[in-house]
Structure 1
């Protein structure tokens, strides 16, 4: 079965490609390497011992998508491609709206044209905005506090409308919480361009000596230690969640959102302490002003995914820290 993975060279995409190949799927990747590197795909093939087909392009390029769908017998799409940095989205909102939303519209148009109506969409917990309580369930009100989150929310709305107009579509919307960690081989992992936007690669870069200290944004939140609480999920567990969603959409029609998280909240300092314990590396840090739009607590109620997709996170916080550190040590300068 041929599966198209947009943005398949990225952090979550590459780990999902490993799980797809190991499960016997034929994988076709389209990626423009704006936030990834070709080496990640070479390593996916190395890890799995299997070949994947690759197109270097942007999903904004309608002609390339036409070519991809015409040349292959694609049965479903896992859609990761998109810009993903909250801070950058605030500075360049038009770029984010154009890339993320227009790209998805072009992709869905080509899917419909070629009668490929099975889609797993990479969404985000940012669509919940500032929730009034935790844990967060899929029925919570939706909003967003930044352009990145709004692109995800708008795409979710587009997909809902698309299904309403054509009940043959089968769509799983996966709302990620905070993916960290790396493949246990240490060959693929999170490889940010420049200064990391996410917490774990910043921690590992401090531990390996690339950065002097960790900046913790906000120390006066209403949490047990004053730092923000998040639901950290191992990227391999997250990748396996995509396989469970894919299996579900191949058997049915409809559109459903699913939270992919552990259901457990850890503060920034909890994560730092667990990393120090797992690696025996000291992480110096300073607490600075909170970032605009950040919330005190955000963690999932993952019961729906467990009940319907038969998926739940298996790896613990120590696994996440050890695997992230292994990738950093093996790749001190990234790919």
Structure 2
């Protein structure tokens, strides 16, 4: 796919990094280690790059993003659901293995699927995030090559991680069949990498793209300040979770909760420009909203995603059941809330005509709004 807008690192800095749009996905720096480094979670350079058209600009999910064209190309269909994107089925599922179910987030489906693919030999690497050994609860890109590795990265972290750097590392290390787990921004970046006509960096080696439902991620400094207000030290936290409209913090001393609305002050600025709640370009999208305790919501989008779920169920790796319409409506409601809420921010920043990077033919706008 040829993206209509081209640029280089100077354009990326001017249009994305210095405007608050950067989502710190890792797509630019992951594939251009010669020039790009990250400072305060945004890309910058120490040396002048003379490329007029750079992979950094092509791969960025905050530059030109022809979302509907990409959807057709990647998923093979056109959305009829403007809030959740194109999908074939929405179900609930959980890991059959009790250890994985407990170790993973909610139903442990993502962890179960990755270990299944790894043990079956379908993948030789899973690009995920894992908490840093140096800074408590700071996520970092991690290339898992065993079940033990996957379990080490299980669970949710609500700070941003440049996951695409892990993908670049896996490809550079010679991995041939990769699964990636990421937020909507990571998924968008991964699909741009795979679809780019100009730069072939090995994106076809990523065989499975698993998206995570996401409202926003937190800025670390702001999160630490909020924890301080709540009387919590980051070193004492055992687990974070979101549910029932609350941000939940688990420590040895018990559970501390804060209203989700009160956590908006911790949101990364780049997240306020995001239009995608449901990781709409993933093979499957996984979350917890709408699912009962101990289960995951799973949105099946591509043939690859459907086969993965069907095979894992047949192998006894996961249990599945239909999702009630009223529960699906909860997912749709949250997706719609993010779209409409952030669209105001997008229009304020760029005007209603361009709508930032959402490159959409006017005749198809009703598919999104």
TM-score norm. by structure 2 comes to: 0.26
> Higher relative contact order by CA 8 Å / sep ≥ 6: 1 or 2?
2
TM-score norm. by structure 1 comes to: 0.28
